[in-house]
Amino acid sequence: MKIKVHHGMCQGHARCYSLAPDIFQLDDSGYILPGDIAVPAGQETLAQRGARSCPERALEVAED
């Protein structure tokens, strides 16, 4: 599973990070790092929950 990161839409809510800090990494200002995220096996549910808590719809779950 992959998380597509729409970096321009991130407004720094850090909701994804607060659920799964190891999957969603933030810069010093609290915005998500650019680039899609390859979700490690076994962490799909957590990644999905993190993505679905983003109020800006900046994270998109992509099955591959």
Partner 1 sequence: MATRAAGAVVPDHVPPSLVRDFSYFRGPEMEPTPCGHPQAALSFVHREGPAIFYAPNNTYDGRGTWVFTKAEDQRAVLNNTEVFSSNRGIFKAALGEDLPMVPLEVDPPDHMKFRALLNPLLSPRRVDAMEAGARERAVRLIEGFKAKGTCEVMNDFAFPFAVGVFLQFLGVSDDRRDEFLGWANEQFHGTLEQRLNAMRTVVDFMKSLIALRRREPADDFVSFLLAAEVEGRPLTDKEILGVAVLLFEAGLDTVAAAVGFDLYHLATHPEDQQRLRGDKDLIKPAVEELFRAYSTIQMLRTAVCDFEYKGIPIRAGDLISCPTMIANRDPAEFPDPDRIDLARDNNRHTAFAYGPHRCLGSHLARRELIVGLEEFLARIPTFRLKAGSSPITYGGYVFGIENLDLAWD
18 binds, among ligand SF4, partner 1, none (CB under 5 to 8 A by kind): partner 1
Residues 4-63 that bind partner 1 (CB under 8 A): 11-15, 17-18, 26, 28-31, 49, 52-57
Residue 63 backbone dihedrals phi, psi, to 5 degrees: -75, 145
Would you count residue 13 as binding ligand SF4 (CB under 6 A)?
A: yes
Find out whether 32 and 16 touch, Cβ atoms under 8 Å. Answer: yes
Nearer to partner 1, 37 or 54 (CB): 54
